[in-house]
Amino acid sequence: MALTPKTLPIPSTKTIHLSATSTEYDIHIGQGLLSTLHPRLQKLAGGKSYRPFLITSPNIWKLWSKQVRASFPEAESPTVLFLPPGEKHKRLPAVESLAEQLAQHGADRDSILIAFGGGVLGDITGFLAAIYMRGIPYVQIPTTLLAQVDSSVGGKTGVNLAAGKNLIGSFHHPRAVFADIALLKTLPPLELRSGLQESIKAGIIADPKLFAYLEQNNELIANGDPEALTKVVTASIKVKANVVAKDERESGLRMTLNFGHTLGHAIEAATGYKKLLHGEAVAWGSIAALHVALARKVIDPDTFARMANLILSYGPLPRFKATASDLVALTSSDKKTRSGRRAFVLPTGIGSTEIVYDVTDEELTAAAESMLQTMRATGVKPS
């Protein structure tokens, strides 16, 4: 293929410094970062001795253990603890089991946890680090696109209850994030495309250049070109890091990251968190949110079309079964709702948003209905 990336001059290796109220740390993005893991951790530990505990899933470890081990001198190899893959293991018993293993291995406040996996593994490991001995350090090595552009940055950690997703958790920032683009080579293509929806979100809410780059390099990006992905990941993380730096605890600005998520979460709930990947649900949720913005004339039809087309161009997106009113009913349990008011994020142009609190159930139902029409026309059978 002779395609080459078109604009967005971001160097292929990059460090983003996140400085928030309670902490600051570096996010490193590049290809082959894994090979320099050991010296980077040593630097983080400031020369003091530290004991690394790497937490991962067997499937990921099978693919990447050689590269990780190669970075460490034999004697300083991390102790590896395992968690089965899958959202259904993101629960407190998994945290307890890992904590007992840490204690049995004598882990203490001079240890450092390494989260090596996707968002599920990162959320669990971060939470484990938050509550083991009332908090020990950890780093994130996100291995999915979603984890690289979203979940590994920002310090939200936690697990699910039977009663709902992410209802248990802590804010606990990593000491560093290492986003190695090479890891995405083994990621199933659907996971890659689904994760890219969060990058599209970043473009829509805060970065017109990223938006244009995603528009212009669709084929390269969706096929996993490492150079192109490096640029997309870097720009997406910048959006997230900026927002987190300004609003660490989600009292205002950070809510803009929920663009597309109000109905996205409703779609996930309506389909039992099984049929759609998170990014796919967010994609449909975003289209519904765009319809609210269009109906309110907050964006013009051209902007609407560009945004909706960008989302759909990283599809095909899967069909699902739910009525508009089902979905709207499910948004009322969204935990972003406080005191009955539903915060809703609307794009006001490419790269800008507003948060409104007065979207009515009727408006939302109409927007969901329009989204469902698009789904019936373009949606494919879920794989």
Considering the complex, what minimum distance in angstroms separates the CB of residue 160 from a second copy?
10
Residues 39-98 that bind a second copy (CB under 8 A): 91-93, 95-96
Residues 137-156 that bind a second copy (CB under 8 A): 156
Answer yes or no: is 56 a known binding residue. no
C-beta neighbour count of 156 within 10 angstroms: 21
**Binding partner of residue 168 among ligand NAD, a second copy, none, CB cut-off 5 to 8 Å per kind:** a second copy
The two structure tokens encoding residue 264: 């996205």
Answer yes or no: is 120 a known binding residue. yes
CB 205 within 8 A of CB 239: yes
Q: Tell me the HSE value of 151 on the side-chain side, using a 13 A CA sphere.
A: 28
**Binding partner of residue 147 among a second copy, ligand NAD, none, CB cut-off 5 to 8 Å per kind:** ligand NAD
Phi, psi of 44 (to 5 degrees): -60, -40
Indicate whether 11 belongs to the interface with a second copy (CB under 8 A): no
Active site residue 227: no
Task: Using alpha carbons, select from 18, 10, 3 the residue that is nearest to residue 242.
Answer: 18
Query: Among 89, 90, 156, 173, which one carries the catalytic annotation?
Result: 156
Q: Kindly list the residues in this chain that would bind ligand NAD in the complex (CB under 6 A).
A: 57, 59-60, 63, 85, 87, 90, 117-121, 123, 143-144, 146-147, 150-151, 154, 156, 166, 183, 186-187, 191, 278
**Binding partner of residue 132 among a second copy, ligand NAD, none, CB cut-off 5 to 8 Å per kind:** a second copy
Nearest CB to ligand NAD, comparing residues 119 and 347: 119
Q: Which residues contact 32 (CB under 8 A, 6 or more apart)?
A: 180, 182
CB 13 within 8 A of CB 31: yes
Please give the single-letter amino acid code of residue 153: V
Answer yes or no: is 164 a known binding residue. no
The one among 12, 13, 65, 170 contacting a second copy by CB under 8 A: 170
String of b and e for 183-220 (b: at least 16 CB within 10 Å)? bbeebeeebbbbbbbbbbbbbbbbbebbbbbbbebbeb
The partner residues of 56 in beta bridges, in order of sequence, read 82
C-beta neighbour count of 106 within 10 angstroms: 9
Active site residue 278: yes
Active site residue 258: yes
The one among 134, 297, 376, 381 contacting a second copy by CB under 8 A: 134
**Binding partner of residue 120 among ligand NAD, a second copy, none, CB cut-off 5 to 8 Å per kind:** ligand NAD
Indicate whether 99 belongs to the interface with a second copy (CB under 8 A): yes
The partner residues of 17 in beta bridges, in order of sequence, read 26
Indicate whether 297 belongs to the interface with a second copy (CB under 8 A): no
Active site residue 198: yes
Active site residue 265: yes
The one among 19, 24, 84, 103 contacting a second copy by CB under 8 A: 103
* Rounded distance between C-alpha atoms, residue 47 and residue 125, angstroms: 24
**C-alpha distances out from residue 171 to 153, 175, 328, Å:** 11, 13, 29
Task: Using alpha carbons, select from 111, 248, 79 the residue that is nearest to residue 175.
Answer: 111
As annotated, the binding site includes 119-123, 143-144, 156, 165, 198, 261, 278
* Binding residues for a second copy (CB under 8 A): 91-93, 95-96, 99-100, 103-104, 108-110, 130-135, 156, 158, 161-164, 167-171, 335, 338-339
As annotated, the binding site for NAD(+) includes 119-123, 143-144, 156, 165
Please give the positions annotated as active site: 134, 156, 198, 240, 250, 254, 258, 261, 265, 278
